[in-house]
Structure 1
């Protein structure tokens, strides 16, 4: 499932995303990971990027359903990154937790701060699966 932050204020998109989460919940979804790939706009100073990352990491302390946050910069030697420079990953216990996170005022405020600083981004939610022998 792919979700873009740019549509946070679009009620139709929020409804469609919640509908997808509801469908996944009925399928027995458990723990979910939200992975966001971003490219910051040219000219954003490194200290401002660091501050934005710290603010993102702090959401774990403000939004209960967000259980973990990890991030890193692209270090791949292969040229498949399509220009994405940073990766952010958040962990949630349920699809309901993701829905609560999306609507939480702290997340909405942060997303509205982050998005104008981005050249592009891609967000994907996934359920980790174990391979059966």
Structure 2
């Protein structure tokens, strides 16, 4: 069995319990510490280097009796009037099984060049005003705000 340092209860120990040597532990710890930035650089920060736009995803279920078309017109006007919004897409679910969709019917995706643009959008007076109208029309909502990681570029 190879000699490997393991972390147990907050202390580094040799995996071969009977022959633990301090020098082996030091070498193994050094390898771990020395390689960690390399692994981190290629796995985690590699993703962050390819980050693209900032996204605002809203998934909603409207209340009974709401005229969804009116809400959609208001939202389209809102994003057209605020320059911080790079793009806006929306759609109504037509394929998912009810059990999987959990009652949600519409998805809205706004794209911003950077998080600061999103912050400006959220505090914009038109958004604040429209949020009250939108909130009154929805029964359930899920919001996700995230920096997008480009995994595959469009052709």
TM-score between the two structures when normalised by the length of structure 2: 0.61
Q: Which runs of 5+ in 2 are unaligned?
A: 1-47
Name segments (4+ residues, structure 1) moved above 3 Å.
27-30
Where does residue 37 of structure 1 map in the other structure? 59
1:43, distance to aligned residue in structure 2 (A): 2.0
Q: Which has the higher strand share?
A: 2
Kept in 2, the 8 Å contact 1:34–1:123? The answer is yes
Q: Which runs of 5+ in 1 are unaligned?
A: 1-26
Give the Cα–Cα distance (whole angstroms) in 2 for the partners of residues 30 and 129 of structure 1: 6
Structure with higher Rg: it is: 2
TM-score between the two structures when normalised by the length of structure 1: 0.70
Where does residue 12 of structure 1 map in the other structure? none
Alignment partner of 2:86: what SS? Answer: strand
Structure 1 residue 61 corresponds to structure 2 residue 80:
yes
Alignment size in residue pairs: 103
Where does residue 6 of structure 1 map in the other structure? none
**Aligned-residue RMSD, C-alpha:** 1.9
Kept in 2, the 8 Å contact 1:59–1:66? The answer is no
Where does residue 50 of structure 1 map in the other structure? 69
